[in-house]
Amino acid sequence: MTIDDRDLLIETITREVLAAFSIGGDTCLNCGGSCAAHCADKVRDVVTNGASRIAYHGRGGDVPRDLAAYIDHTLLRPDATAADIDRLCDEAIEHGFAAVCINPTWIRRAADRVRGTDVAVASVIGFPFGAATTEVKAMETRRAIRDGAREIDMVINIGALKSGMREVVREDIARVSDACHESGALNKVIIETALLSDEEKVIACHLAREAKADYVKTSTGYASGGATVFDVALMREAVGPRMGVKASGGIRTAEDVQDMIAAGATRIGASAGVRIVTGERGAREQY
């Protein structure tokens, strides 16, 4: 069997496994025991038993040749300097990355640096723990947008989610979504998969969708783990085909990017973006 034949077989099998996923409600129709949202262990077995990727049946499954357009070129280290931010922006422009993702203090500098290009400025809210109050997150979001951010990556209230306080989490996301959408910005919701059970991941995704977020995102890069193929597939099926899914945390190679996109990711967060598209090291790589 050739490599191409093997990959085709893997994709065919996993497509059949995932074909019964629910894309909206809390229950599966015609599940047959193969839904990642409700039969997580069985689908995880498919990954651990040799599948190098999962073919999603929606729009996220087409792996593009041009990976750069999927990447948020990221630098969130607390010791990042002005020169580091300038270099990050220049690399994003040179390689055609979707956005630069930076801490709020650097938004104005980055916005000036990428002005007139197709590179967006993304920044983080409630980062990295998600424990700020909803009012502070909404205020921080509006300030970030005034300074030039066009995309917001917010961290959910993780403790509230794990306490079963769903309405608190939904309202937290909704207030940031409202602040984004009143100015035409995007809200990407970091659920921090490494700290959640599979059930909690699905609940977080449903709440983000209900709160009119634009994306769900796997990780901050500061927890014990980052993006996995399984989590991306789980999140994609939890939110359906129209909402964005951003994979971030530990993505360092072109193969990593391809696997995440095949699983359903529509955006990649990586500090190793230059290495991914050229094989060379770029600005200070972090997560």
Catalytic annotation, residues: 153, 217, 246
SS3 of residue 80 by DSSP: coil
Nearest CA among 109, 204, 216 for reference residue 159: 204
SS3 of residue 122 by DSSP: strand
* CB distance 285 to 271 below 8 Å: yes
Nearest CA among 28, 26, 21, 37 for reference residue 201: 37
CA dihedral 257, 258, 262, 263 (to 10 degrees): -30
Rounded to an integer, what distance in angstroms lies between the CA atom of residue 22 and that of residue 91?
Answer: 39
* CB distance 189 to 125 below 8 Å: no
Rounded to an integer, what distance in angstroms lies between the CA atom of residue 279 and that of residue 60?
Answer: 25
Angle at the Cα of 50 from the Cα atoms of 48 and 53, rounded to 5 degrees: 90
What's the distance, CA 151 to chain centroid? 12
CA dihedral 159, 162, 164, 169 (to 10 degrees): 50
